[in-house]
C-alpha cells in the first residue's frame, strides 16, 4: 500500500510514540494527522541483518476525512 498518497504535502504531522530496539529488531508505534487523513495508531517492526532491512511489518488504523 502506498500510504504516502493519503497525506497532504502540507500540514502533516507524524508523532513517534514509542521506539524499542533489541538486537536486530526495531519496533515503532506512531500516529499522524493531516488535512485529509488521520492514523490514530500505527506500528512498524523491522528485522535488520547485516545493516539491511530483511523483513518489515506494518499495521495501522487509517481514517480518511473525505
Return averaged pLDDT per consecutive 10 residues of the chain, 66 residues in all: 71 91 97 86 97 96 80
Per-residue pLDDT at 31: 94
What's the pLDDT score for residue 1? Answer: 55
CB of 19 closer than 8 Å to CB of 47: no
Residue 4 lies in a domain: no
What residue numbers bound the domain in which 49 lies?
9-64
Q: DSSP letter for 61, please.
A: E
Determine the pLDDT at residue 14: 87
DSSP 11: S
Compute how many other C-beta atoms are within 10 angstroms of the C-beta atom of residue 4: 8
Does residue 46 lie within any of the structural domains?
yes
Confirm whether 38 is domain-assigned: yes
3-class DSSP state for residue 6?
A: helix
**Domain holding 37: CATH number?**
3.10.450.50
* Neighbouring residues of 66: CB distance < 8 A, sequence distance ≥ 6: 36
Q: Which pTM does this prediction carry? A: 0.79
Amino acid at each position: 500500500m502506498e500510504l504516502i498518497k493519503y497525506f497532504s504535502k502540507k500540514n502533516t504531522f507524524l508523532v513517534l510514540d514509542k521506539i524499542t530496539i533489541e538486537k536486530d529488531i526495531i519496533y515503532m508505534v506512531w500516529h499522524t494527522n493531516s488535512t485529509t487523513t488521520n492514523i490514530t495508531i500505527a506500528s512498524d517492526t523491522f528485522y535488520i541483518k547485516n545493516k539491511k532491512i530483511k523483513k518489515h511489518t506494518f499495521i495501522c488504523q487509517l481514517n480518511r476525512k473525505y
